[in-house]
């Protein structure tokens, strides 16, 4: 159990103490931190003794005084020092279980760690929570958390998550509330399983948990061609997606009338599948679950259209997207001198149509198929591992740059960046 330092911020307290990448923080004032939450509270003291193990194995005690609000200024290889809590469920819809074989091991890590939920917004099922965890949530005011509910029917939830502990969702949410925590929730909706009357029950019960419950996101199940689970799953089509929208709109109108907020949000894919207009910006309030695909498309459109768009002349651009987002992009760029290339996902299967799951190999094949000259190739940044230029299949942007040189290959993070790129600005 240790905090391995990977980077020291310039001008920081850590630099002043001559800490370096490769050092490990073992103890603070005689106590062993289990994660950066522990470390943060321990370093709130003004008199500190650090037990540090250097990269060469030598240990040293570093004693110093600091201001109460002064941060250490070190980054660590992991936010948790005692190992990530793994998910012990076998959810019938688990996307991690549907990835291709022989992919990098980190893609197969299924975390179910309340600390990562608090720190990074990762969703947890609460099935591995113990009384000491709820006590710690209360002690450190770890709120809000992000909870995968899926259904409030105990028997159905136990069936979907394949563990009897999943049936205790109501009691587990009660424990969170007694610990003083608020939480965002989500439902991965499976056609014919937890939709219809079951979804009605789930939304109704979560609404009754306000103000502890802050939002409810409903996203459609995704299925890849690598799924081997024998449990039958059905995906939504145009008509069934429209039915979900109509069902949920009733609750949305109720929430906006009662509290001035939508509270219950649908994943963008429902609107794209149903070929219905996305809700207006104000409908998404402060975009509380945008990283979960809730309002991401609307936000992208708003950023792109914030200023007038005029494509650069004599500047040939190829835009890569998933097939579901392609129609949205075509509506934004109109008939500008731009080639839009919606890439069919051969790696995960054609039913996987979101840009964030495109692989480098499929993108390369699509670009070669259309051929021709291009000055720039614009890639959705969501397809890259966060903070890197690496696709899910370990192809890199540099690989694309070598193949399609001299064209620029640029990752696009948002709508305003796309507009600037199409105007010839980088």
Percent of the chain having pLDDT more than 70? 97
Summary count for the chain: helices (H), strands (E): 14, 13
For position 308, what pLDDT does the model report? 82
Q: Where exactly are the structural domains of the chain?
A: 3-76, 96-294, 303-422
Rounded Cα gap, residues 329 and 334, in angstroms: 8
Three-state SS for the chain is CCEEEEEECCCCHHHHCCCCCCCEEEEECCECCCEHHHHHHHCCCCEEEEEEECCCCCEEEEEEECCCCCCCCEEECCCECCCCCECCCCCCCCCHHHCCCCCCHHHHCCECCHHHHHHHCCCECCCCCCHHHHHHHHHHCCCCEEEECCCCCHHHHHHHHCCHHHHHHHHHHHHHHHCCCCEEEEEEECCCCCCCHHHHHHHHHHHCCCCCEEEEEEEECCCCCCCCCCCCCCCCCHHHHHHHHHHHHHHHHHHHHHHCCCCEEECHHHHHHHCCCCCCHHHHCCCCCHHHCCCHHHHHHHHHHCCCCCCCCCCCEEEEEEHHHHHHHHHHHCCCCEEEEEECCCCCCCCCCCHHHCCHHHHHHHHHHHCCCCCEEEEEHHHECCCCCEECCCCEHHHHHHHHCCCEEEEECCHHHHHHHHCCCC
Token reading at 127: 């099935």
Rounded Cα gap, residues 327 and 336, in angstroms: 14
What pLDDT, in 10s, does the model give residues 90-129?
Answer: 999 988 888 777 776 666 678 999 999 999 999 999 999 9
Rounded Cα gap, residues 196 and 227, in angstroms: 25
For position 81, what pLDDT does the model report? 92
Domain 3-76 has CATH 3.40.140.10: no
Q: Could you tell me if residue 148 is left (phi over 0), alpha (psi between -120 and 50 degrees) or otherwise beta?
A: beta
Helix (H, G, I), strand (E, B) or coil at 390: strand
CATH code for the structural domain at 303-422:
3.40.50
Comparing CA positions, the residue from 324, 323, 296, 332 lying closest to residue 414 is 296
Rounded Cα gap, residues 131 and 350, in angstroms: 44
Calculate the average pLDDT of the chain: 91
Helix (H, G, I), strand (E, B) or coil at 234: coil
Rounded Cα gap, residues 334 and 365, in angstroms: 25
Q: What is the DSSP string of 84-130?
A: PPBP----TT-SGGGSPTT--GGGG--B--HHHHHHH---B-STT--
Low-confidence residues of the chain: pLDDT under 70: 1, 104-108, 335-336, 425-426
Rounded Cα gap, residues 202 and 312, in angstroms: 50
For position 373, what pLDDT does the model report? 86
For position 134, what pLDDT does the model report? 97
Helix (H, G, I), strand (E, B) or coil at 408: strand
Whether residue 407 contacts residue 375, with contact meaning beta carbons closer than 8 Å, is answered with yes
Token reading at 68: 């109460």
What pLDDT, in 10s, does the model give residues 2-21?
Answer: 789 999 999 999 999 999 99
Rounded Cα gap, residues 257 and 261, in angstroms: 8
């Amino acid at each position: 159990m240790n905090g391995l330092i990977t980077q020291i911020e310039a001008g920081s307290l850590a630099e002043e103490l001559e800490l370096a990448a490769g050092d490990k923080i073992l103890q603070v004032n005689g106590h062993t931190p289990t994660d950066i939450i522990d470390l943060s509270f321990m370093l709130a003291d003004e008199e500190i003794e650090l037990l540090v193990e250097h990269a060469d194995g030598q240990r040293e005690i570093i004693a110093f005084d600091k201001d109460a609000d002064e941060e250490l200024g070190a980054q660590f290889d992991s936010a948790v020092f005692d190992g990530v809590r793994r998910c012990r469920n076998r959810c019938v819809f688990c996307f991690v279980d549907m990835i291709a074989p022989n992919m990098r091991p980190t893609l197969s890590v299924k975390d179910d760690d309340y600390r990562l939920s608090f720190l990074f917004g990762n969703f947890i099922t609460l099935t591995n929570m113990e009384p000491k965890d709820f006590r710690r949530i209360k002690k450190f005011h770890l709120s809000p958390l992000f909870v995968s509910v899926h259904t409030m029917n105990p028997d159905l939830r136990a069936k979907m998550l394949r563990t009897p502990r999943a049936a205790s969702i109501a009691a587990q949410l009660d424990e969170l509330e007694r610990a003083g925590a608020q939480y965002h929730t989500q439902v991965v909706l499976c056609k014919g399983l937890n939709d219809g009357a079951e979804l009605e029950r789930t939304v109704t019960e979560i609404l009754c948990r306000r103000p502890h419950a802050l939002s409810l996101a409903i996203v459609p199940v995704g299925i890849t061609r690598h799924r081997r689970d024998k449990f039958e799953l059905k995906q939504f089509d145009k008509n069934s997606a429209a039915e979900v929208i109509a069902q949920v709109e009733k609750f949305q109108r109720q929430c906006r009338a009662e509290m001035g907020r939508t509270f219950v949000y649908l994943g963008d894919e429902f609107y794209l599948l149903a070929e219905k207009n996305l809700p207006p910006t104000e409908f998404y309030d402060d975009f509380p679950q945008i990283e979960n695909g809730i309002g991401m498309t609307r936000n992208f459109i708003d950023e792109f259209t914030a200023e007038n768009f005029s494509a650069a002349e004599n500047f040939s651009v190829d835009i890569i997207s998933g097939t579901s987002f392609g129609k949205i992009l075509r509506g934004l760029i109109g008939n500008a001198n731009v080639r839009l290339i919606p890439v069919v996902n051969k790696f995960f299967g054609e039913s996987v149509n979101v840009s964030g799951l495109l692989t480098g190999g499929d993108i390369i094949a699509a670009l070669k198929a259309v051929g021709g000259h291009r000055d720039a190739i614009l890639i959705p940044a969501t397809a890259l591992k966060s903070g890197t230029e690496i696709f899910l299949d370990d192809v890199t942007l540099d690989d694309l740059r070598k193949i399609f040189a001299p064209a620029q290959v640029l990752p696009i993070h948002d709508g305003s960046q796309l507009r600037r790129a199409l105007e010839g600005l980088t």
